[in-house]
Amino acid sequence: MEHLYAPWRYSYVSEEKIEGCVFCYIKENIDNEKMQVLFKDELCYVVMNKFPYSPGHFMVIPNHHTDKIEDLDEEVWFRVSKRVQQGVRLLKASLKCEGVNIGMNLGRAAGAGIEQHVHYHLMPRWIGDTNFITTVGNTRVYPANFDEIYKKLKENTNKFFI
């Protein structure tokens, strides 16, 4: 069996587990850098995905805890949508991505990993950003340091989230 060395993953498996809703925990946490929060306002926030599908993958999350988008106040829904639009601009400008996947999985049956709190995913994409290892090894290889990507996005956040 072949092994891939990924030292940055150790913190993911060894750190203290969060009780309750992870998104509510992040919203209430004052250490935005530790949580890798890019932006917060009174209705929602933007945070890096701890288990990304691609380098630069982040989420837009309403502050209101619900698993149903139909329960979100219209103002919250519009604000979240605005942050998604601004997030696309941030990804294109900061990471020079050639495309962006935007998605929301509502409920376990739809593939939600954290089903109790609705959230949008934004994933930057590049032509040729997948390769054979995903198919034959059921493994993803990321050509980037996630902390560096967070810092690059964070330093450009004020230009896009207003």
In the prediction, which pLDDT does 2 show? 62
Domains of the chain: residue spans and CATH: 23-160 (3.30.428.10)
Contacts 24+ apart (CB under 8 A), 134-141: 137/2, 139/4, 140/53, 141/4
Q: Rounded to an integer, what distance in angstroms lies between the CA atom of residue 62 and that of residue 39?
A: 12
Cβ pair 35, 59 in contact under 8 A: no
**Both tokens assigned to 127:** 């032509």
Q: Who has greater pLDDT, 120 or 138?
A: 120
For residue 136, name the pLDDT band (cuts at 50, 70, 90): very low
Closest C-alpha to 91, from 114, 117, 120? 120
For residue 51, name the pLDDT band (cuts at 50, 70, 90): confident
Q: Who has greater pLDDT, 41 or 6?
A: 41
Total residues belonging to the chain: 162
In the prediction, which pLDDT does 6 show? 61
Report the 10 Å Cβ neighbour count for 49: 18
In the prediction, which pLDDT does 4 show? 59
Amino acid at 129: D
Whether the predicted pLDDT of 135 surpasses 50: no
How buried is 68 (Cβ within 10 angstroms: 0-12 exposed, 13-18 middle, 19+ buried)? exposed
Mean pLDDT of the chain, nearest integer: 86
In the prediction, which pLDDT does 154 show? 86
Over the Cα atoms of the chain, what is R_g?
Answer: 16
In the prediction, which pLDDT does 150 show? 82
Whether the predicted pLDDT of 74 surpasses 60: yes
pLDDT in tens, 95-130: 999 999 999 999 999 988 899 999 999 999 998 776
Amino acid at 54: S
Report the 10 Å Cβ neighbour count for 90: 27
